[in-house]
Amino acid sequence: MQGPVIKPALAVYTGLFILFLYGPFFVLGILSFQTGPEGGPQFPIVEWSTYWYRHILGLTPPSRIAPLPIGEALVRSLVLAFMTMVVSTLLGVLSAQAFRSRFKGSGVVFYLIVLGMMVPGVLVGLGMALVANTLGIDRTWWGTAFVLHVVYTFPFAFLVMLAIFNRFDASVEEAAWSLGVSPARTFRHVTFPLIWPGVLSAMLFAFTLSYDEFSRTLFASGRELTLPLAIYGTFSVEIHPNVFAFGVLTTLFSFALLAVYAILMGLSVRRARRLAIQEDIT
């Protein structure tokens, strides 16, 4: 744009920036193929092997390196992320629907909701632990940690839905209502299909954020670990390449999740297009 030098320089810089973002992860991926069980989490690669991947799946003979405690933790994390996803998406849709009309105190409520994603996990986690202690409630991942996960993800769902409703043409709802369709049926057949892409995005946000959340969980869940807590536990002891292999596997899982989202999104777009074509014909 300006002069022959600046743009290429910035392009090179951006390339280096991307390298900075991905570099550590490439190294991690390479080292996950270190030989086991004697190979350490550093260069050089003694011998390429898939030992640590088998180690995670429990397919290797027992060695001095304890397997990662991930079996039950994975199930807990998935259940927790699913619960969080359902509740925070529901709350997000309801709240965003409320914000379609102006009501008294909407400014305060807006900040109250957005605060949930801004306040660091250490603080809410600590506060929740104190509340639970005082009231004599046991801290559990499905109780105290779950409500904090929703506090964290609900604002994201809310903001996504708010953006969707902002572009939403209310006249289609009015048309249905004026034709005598009940509000419930209108929601089911008119509103919901229109906001579905937004709901899907809100669900994706809530699920991935909750699945990866650990600072809130650290304080608010009891003795039973979720997946991020199991990884956090390895920080204090000597790390082995099995953590790296696990990192590669979780990343692949996340991409699978992303692919499911992309497919669902593609389907809903295609369906909308098909409906539009049908309307054109009739």
Residues 107-136 that bind another protein (CB under 8 A): 109, 112-113, 115-116, 118-124, 126-131, 133-134
Closest Cα partner for 35 from 45, 25, 44, 43? 45
- The least CB distance from residue 272 to another protein, in Å, is 21
Binding mask 219-238 for another protein (x = CB under 8 A): x-------xx--xx--xx--
Pick the binder of another protein from 61, 62, 101, 276 (CB under 8 A): 101
103 contributes a contact to another protein by CB under 8 A:
yes
Residue 86 or 257 having the CB closest to another protein: 257
Residues 37 and 240: their CA atoms lie apart, in Å, by 9
* Contact pick of 154, 199, 202, 240 for another protein (by CB under 8 A): 154
Instruction: Please say which residue, 130 or 277, places its beta carbon nearer to another protein.
Output: 130
Q: Backbone dihedral region of 243: left (phi > 0), alpha (psi from -120 to 50 degrees) or beta?
A: alpha
Amino acid at 95: S
Using CB atoms within 10 Å of the CB of residue 108, give its burial: 0 to 12 exposed, 13 to 18 middle, 19+ buried. exposed
Which is nearer to another protein, 22 or 48 (by Cβ)? 22
State how far the Cα of 265 lies from the Cα of 270, in Å rounded to an integer: 9
Task: Calculate the CA dihedral of residues 207, 209, 214, 219 and round it to 10 degrees.
Answer: -80
Tell which positions 37-96 bind another protein, by CB under 8 A.
41-44, 91-92, 94-95
- Distance CA(156)–CA(198), nearest Å, equals 11
- Residue 279: CB minimum distance to another protein, A: 22
The residue (of 50 and 254) whose beta carbon lies closer to another protein is 254
Where in 163-192 is the site for another protein (CB under 8 A)? 170, 173-174, 177-178, 180, 182-183, 186
What Å distances lie between residue 223 and 149, 219, 226, CA to CA? 17, 10, 10
Nearer to another protein, 11 or 66 (CB): 11
